[in-house]
Amino acid sequence: MSEIHALSGAYAIDALDEHERAQFERHLAECADCRAEVDSLRGAAASLADATEVAPPPQLRADVLAAITKVRPLPPLPSQQPGHGRGRRFRGLLVAAAAVAVVGTGLAVTQPWADELTAVDQVMAAADADRASVKIDGGTATVYRSESLGQAALVTDDLPAVPDGKVYELWLQVDGAMVPAGLLDASGDQEFLLTGDASQATAAGITIEPDGGSKQPTSAPIALFDLTQET
């Protein structure tokens, strides 16, 4: 059952029901790739937990738990899958490929539309771009990271709205610590460039925080992205 691989993210943050947990643990005993991914994601989750200095108030916990559903990373695939996020990446790749043409003399000719590439497009189209996706309450969130550009980007499809007074906060895991990487208060289909140097990031995460964000996370992650897996 290929979809069993997609349960690693939910398993890492204890978001599976008893049946799914038992099913995944049987698979985990035989799948080294999933064991490695779970270990990586749990490390990222632990970094977020260690950074939390104070316990969130009960109402914040209730809001977070109400917003969290099963977070399921997509398994690594040899070919691209259809979807809005992948379509956007394909668009970026096409634009990047058209931006530079090599002529017979060996000179590179830059096309006029090259300047129209957004920062997110450039990350998505980078030759060394890593990609990790998770499901969030019926929507999808994908993080792209380019080591050569030192940047990471978030692309969402049908991202659910956060409760009033809350925002999504993005984080990058660098040297074992989670550092803030920007705030997102919009829902639906979004493209967002994470702040900070992402060249050495091993994971990314999303939490729900009070308006204005937090210097350190005050809630459990609703999504974790393993950036160490080759795509």
Is 118 inside a domain boundary? no
Gap between the Cα atoms of 39 and 59, Å rounded: 30
> Which range scores top for mean pLDDT: 1-15, 66-80, 102-116, 151-165?
151-165
The total of structural domains in the chain comes to: 1
Domain that holds residue 57: 2-79+124-226
Predicted model pTM: 0.56
Is 102 inside a domain boundary? no
Is 48 inside a domain boundary? yes
Is 138 inside a domain boundary? yes
Is 114 inside a domain boundary? no
Is 35 inside a domain boundary? yes
Q: How far apart are the first and last CA of the chain?
A: 20
Mean pLDDT within 116-139: 87
> Which range scores top for mean pLDDT: 11-15, 56-60, 141-145?
141-145
Q: Determine how many CB atoms are found less than 10 A away from the CB of residue 188.
A: 11
One-letter amino acid for residue 145 of the chain: R
Is 160 inside a domain boundary? yes
Mean pLDDT within 195-207: 94
pLDDT digit string, tens, across residues 41-95: 777 766 665 555 445 555 544 554 444 434 444 444 443 343 444 444 444 444 4
Is 96 inside a domain boundary? no
Gap between the Cα atoms of 30 and 202, Å rounded: 24
pLDDT digit string, tens, across residues 97-110: 433 333 333 444 44
Give the count of alpha carbons within 13 A of 7, CB side only.
21
Paired strand residues for 191:
155
